Amino acid sequence: MLKCEVIEPQTKADAAVIWLHGLGASGHDFVPVVPHLGLPENHGVRFIFPHAPEIPVTINGGMVMPAWYDILAMSLEREIDTEQIEASSAAVRELIQRELDAGIPSERIVLAGFSQGGAVVYHTALSYPKPLAGLLTMSTYFATAKEVTLSEANKALPIHIFHGSQDPMVPEVMGHTADQILQSMGFKPTYRSYPMQHEVCMDEIIDIGNSLKAWLGLD
């Protein structure tokens, strides 16, 4: 089981957000965002921020760092280790199962991910055998579009894609490509761009909060 930072709600948890960080970061990265999402005080949402394992990353000279999978080449298509992305996806499915065992219905679980974390949650959510509440992807790309086996349970999954228009690490064209691929698969993603680089901004954080409020029925 992945080690995680967990933020418990003030009231009994009846929903969960599993939120994956990017390359070289940690589960601590997005913890400070939670108070700025604009959720009601009694929201009942447990936030889970897992830490990626430390592995050698080819594009960084084989340096060992937190990563969900190895990146072999930085082309727009991104040459990656698909076995590692599947292993990370399996680890996320374990976290989902832990929430199910704790009494949270799958329909009340949102997956979110930034950059590498976004690629993992694309793979996890679209193949997950039980219906999820929604998918949030930030500054990322659909790395396993050719490999993923789509789940019938999530064919109508709400998907919101957020990307920076000035992103030098994951160019925005990769976000648009993911949007187009999803549409070709029958999904109806919502796409929004922000004037930022490979980061998050306050307008995006507000939009993430609004997504959670809509999907989880939070007033």
**Could you give the 3-state DSSP secondary structure of residue 142?**
coil
pLDDT at residue 77, rounded to an integer: 74
Q: CA 22, 25, 30, 31 torsion: positive or negative?
A: positive
Q: Which residues contact 74 (CB under 8 A, 6 or more apart)?
A: 59
Q: What is the pLDDT of residues 180-207, one digit of tens each?
A: 999 999 999 999 999 999 999 999 999 9
Nearest C-alpha neighbor of 14 from the set 85, 102, 75:
102
**Nearest-5° angle of CA 120, CA 137, CA 184?**
90
pLDDT at residue 29, rounded to an integer: 97
DSSP-assigned beta bridge partners for residue 6: 48
Q: Which residues are catalytic?
A: 115, 167, 198
pLDDT at residue 219, rounded to an integer: 78
- Amino acid identity for residue 131 in this structure: P
pLDDT at residue 105, rounded to an integer: 98
Is the pLDDT at 2 greater than 90, yes or no? yes
Q: What is the pLDDT of residues 87-104, one digit of tens each?
A: 999 999 999 999 999 999
What's the mean pLDDT when you consider all of the chain?
Answer: 97
Nearest C-alpha neighbor of 191 from the set 214, 161, 155, 157:
161
Is the pLDDT at 52 greater than 90, yes or no? yes
C-alpha 193/C-alpha 97 separation (Å) is 32
174 vs 75, residue with greater confidence: 174
pLDDT at residue 201, rounded to an integer: 98
**Could you give the 3-state DSSP secondary structure of residue 181?**
helix
C-alpha 120/C-alpha 140 separation (Å) is 10
Q: Which residues contact 68 (CB under 8 A, 6 or more apart)?
A: 20, 23, 52, 84, 85, 88, 116, 117, 119, 120
For 4-52+92-216, the fitting CATH number among 3.40.190.10, 3.40.50.720, 3.40.50.300, 3.40.50.1820 is: 3.40.50.1820
pLDDT at residue 78, rounded to an integer: 78
Nearest C-alpha neighbor of 199 from the set 173, 178, 169:
169
pLDDT at residue 17, rounded to an integer: 99
Q: Would you kindly state where each structural domain of the chain is located, as residue ranges?
A: 4-52+92-216
Q: What is the pLDDT of residues 30-41, one digit of tens each?
A: 999 999 999 999
For residues 157-196, b (16+ Cβ closer than 10 Å) or e, as one string? bbbbbbbbeebeebbbebbebbbebbeeeebebebebbeb
Q: Residue written as tokens 């109806």?
A: 188
DSSP-assigned beta bridge partners for residue 19: 112
